Amino acid sequence: MMPKLHGFLHRETCSPLYRRPMKHAGRILLAWAGLLALAAAQLPAAVIKAGFAERDITPEIGMREAHAVARHVFKAFRDPCKVRAAVFDDGQRKVALIGLDTLIVPRAVVLEARAAIEKACGIPGSAVMIAASHSHSSGPVGIVMPGQFDQAPPDIQRLAYEESSLADPKYLRLLIREIIEGARLADASRQPASLGFSFGREDQVSFNRRQRMKNGRSWSHAGAMNPDIVDYAGPIDPQVGVLGAWSRNGDLLGVLVNFACHATTNPGAISANWPGATERTIQGALQTSAPMVFLAGASGDVTQVDNLSPYVRPNPESWLRLVGGRVGAEAVKVLLSMARASE
């Protein structure tokens, strides 16, 4: 059964133009799991359990690109899109944190998945967080929902269904099913774990896309080396938030990573975008297959594009590896140096 998707409205929230870095974004997204890590410092390691799982949500060739109009469909595959789920249990309560390789996640999808997870796993819906990576090279989840503008005038229907990002009902059903299954498998795989969390810094791959101009106005993407640019009109958040979970034998069970940057290093094919490269960097460096749950930070005005750089921009493939690789490398450094709660 399809969720009730009518009336859903997505707004991309832009970060306020504070003069200080947005240090709180990572802390907010990791606080939930961080509280469990703090509890683990005062309780025996066996009390804390963690489980991770992943499921495939790669769109089909021929489906619309996530951010595209009707005429832009996927013609090639680069790397898979996934649901990655983490469940933490302190013996008294359980929480689930679920990351999606999608552009957005419609509220109706979240509500249906939460209800099913609560029924299947006993995790309260209020303790289930579902977050999208904002990958622009992922499957069709919106912004416009099927049937949302059926009662509108023909011109509005054309704009909504042909000239906007439109969700695919078949893909939404796949997404809901795999979110539920990912949470169920993560819950079933819980085992005694030691946890650690900390922060690193990566300030070479993200830039504010708004520039302050000589005329006093602020423009988005004013153009590379535009002589009328005075400076960036807002901050970035260079903080890389990392939470790791290890088994009693010291094997890495899974990782949570938080970073603020639009996932717009589009390689021209189906892809998890740069967060997928972050996971591959972590897995390669640590010789593990442990999944990485990605939680996007406050990236409303933060992208990989530096309009004040005099250098030629990388091609999309190189850009994807650059952003994902550097964020992943920083996460590896944090994982290697962090204290674990049971030690």
Instruction: Tell me: pLDDT of 260 over 80.
Output: yes
Give the pLDDT band of residue 271 (cuts 50, 70, 90): very high
Q: Degrees (nearest 5) of the Cα angle 207, 23, 82?
A: 70
Rounded to two decimals, the pTM is 0.86
Q: Which residue has the higher pLDDT, 4 or 63?
A: 63
**Percentage of the chain lying above the pLDDT 90 cut:** 82
| Distance, CA of 255 to CA of 229 (rounded, Å) | 39
Q: Which amino acid is at 295?
A: L
**How many residues comprise the chain?**
343
Distance CA 243, CA 232 (A): 31
**Residue 146 structure tokens:** 């099927």
- Please report the pLDDT score of residue 312 as a whole number: 85
SS3 14: coil
* Secondary structure (DSSP) of 270-320: B---HHHHHHHHHHHHHT----EEEEE-S-TTEES--TT--SPPPPHHHHH
Residue 68's pLDDT is 78
Q: What is the pLDDT of residues 186-222, one digit of tens each?
A: 999 999 999 999 999 999 999 999 999 999 999 999 9
Task: Tell me what pLDDT residue 33 has.
Answer: 52
Pairing state between β 207-208 and 302-303: antiparallel
Residue 47: the pLDDT is 78
Amino acid (one-letter) located at 264: T
Question: Taking residues 289-297, what's their average pLDDT?
Answer: 97
pLDDT in tens, 39-58: 545 545 447 999 999 999 99
Banded pLDDT at 8 (limits 50, 70, 90): very low
The predicted pLDDT at position 29 comes to: 46
DSSP per residue over 157-226, as a string?
A: HHHHHHSS-B--HHHHHHHHHHHHHHHHHHHHT-EEEEEEEEEEE--SS-EESEEEETTS-EEES--TT-
The DSSP result for 227-287, as a single string, is TTEEEESS----EEEEEEEEETTS-EEEEEEEE---B----SSB---HHHHHHHHHHHHHT
Under the banding of pLDDT at 50, 70 and 90, the label for residue 69 is confident
Examine the pLDDT at 13 and tell me if it is beyond 80.
no
Of 6-10, 128-132, 172-176, give the lowest mean pLDDT range: 6-10
Confidence category of residue 61, pLDDT binned at 50, 70, 90? very high
pLDDT digits (tens, 9 = 90+) for 84-108: 999 999 999 999 999 999 999 999 9
3-state helix, strand, coil in the chain (%, to 5): 30, 25, 45
